[in-house]
Amino acid sequence: MTASRLRLPALFLTATVALAACSSSVGSGSAGGESSSGGSITVYAAASLTGAFNQIGEDFKRANPGTDITFQFGSSGALATQITQGADADVFASAATKNMQQVIDGGEASTSTNFVSNVAEIAVAPGNPKKITTLADLAKPGTRVALCVPTAPCGALARSIFDKAGVTVAPTANEGDVKHTLAIVETGEVDASIVYVTDVKAAGGGADGVEIPAAQNESTEYPIAVLSHAKNSELAIAFVDYVKSDAGQKVLTDAGFSSP
């Protein structure tokens, strides 16, 4: 069977196979490259990337017929642990540099590239029935608040924000990742949660966002890497390059992410 040639956006069509070989230094940050192999890859990615990566995946497959991508979304902390324990993955995109470093320290990646950043926001029910306007409102008696577990980047970020603001919040619920944390706001199980601004945007009418003042807010950078034991490293490199390309970055920007 003759394998199909991978095609990145027009910006990268001038890149040669030699450049693709150079970019095989796993997640090197190369802007282009081609590969003569098709096949499939598995991408482990932070839950907050769900919508954007699903779109990028579809765009990538259209640009590269004969390829397939399987996504595994979840808490970056949990995904990093699975990877260091031998999970069958080709690419890892984390919502925090700490979890990527765990993978690098475990010998599962040699390097990574930060490709977007994100900031936190208070998510509330549509119409904000509890009239929550500040972080201090989350500490009021009777206010039900959901946070991500401390081992998830969104949970660590929320607790850092509370420390900076001098606010003590006892969460009603601690959820495994940011999508589940937002979901129980949407269902009315809690009154508010701390998630990313991109998650509130993705919720559409399911939740409203309350901006956190810049002096109290925190941001997080998202690194991405091709894993050392990728079963299809050439396709994995091409996917990472696509994420960092103008086409991939537009999808991410439209979803509310910012430059790293």
pLDDT of residue 37: 58
Position 85: which residue type?
A: Q
- Give the residues across from 148 on adjacent strands: 175
For the chain, the domains span 10-117+222-254, 118-219
Over residues 202-221, the pLDDT tens digits come to 999 999 999 999 999 999 99
Looking at residue 33, its pLDDT comes to 35
Domains 10-117+222-254 and 118-219 share a fold: yes
238 φ/ψ angles, rounded to the nearest 5 degrees: -60, -40
Pick the CATH number of 118-219 from 3.90.1300.10, 1.10.260.40, 3.40.190.10, 3.40.50.2020: 3.40.190.10
* Residue 38: per-residue pLDDT: 76
Reported CATH class of domain 10-117+222-254: alpha beta
Please give the distance of CA 62 from its chain centroid, rounded to a whole number: 22
pLDDT for position 32: 40
Residue 183's contacts (CB-CB under 8 Å, 6 or more residues apart) are 175
Q: Which contiguous run of DSSP H or E holds residue 242?
A: helix 233-244
Question: CB–CB of 226/240 below 8 Å?
Answer: yes
- pLDDT of 10 reads 38
Q: What distances in angstroms separate CA 136 from CA 65, 180, 199, one per listed residue?
A: 52, 23, 22
**Mean pLDDT in order along the chain per 10 residues (260 residues):** 40 34 36 57 98 98 96 98 97 98 98 98 97 98 97 96 97 97 97 98 95 97 98 97 98 96
Q: What integer pLDDT is reported at residue 25 of this predicted model?
A: 37
Quick: pLDDT tens for 152-189: 999 999 999 999 999 999 999 999 999 999 999 999 99
- Residue 233: what pLDDT? 96
For residues 223 and 94, give the distance between their C-alpha atoms in angstroms, rounded to a whole number.
6
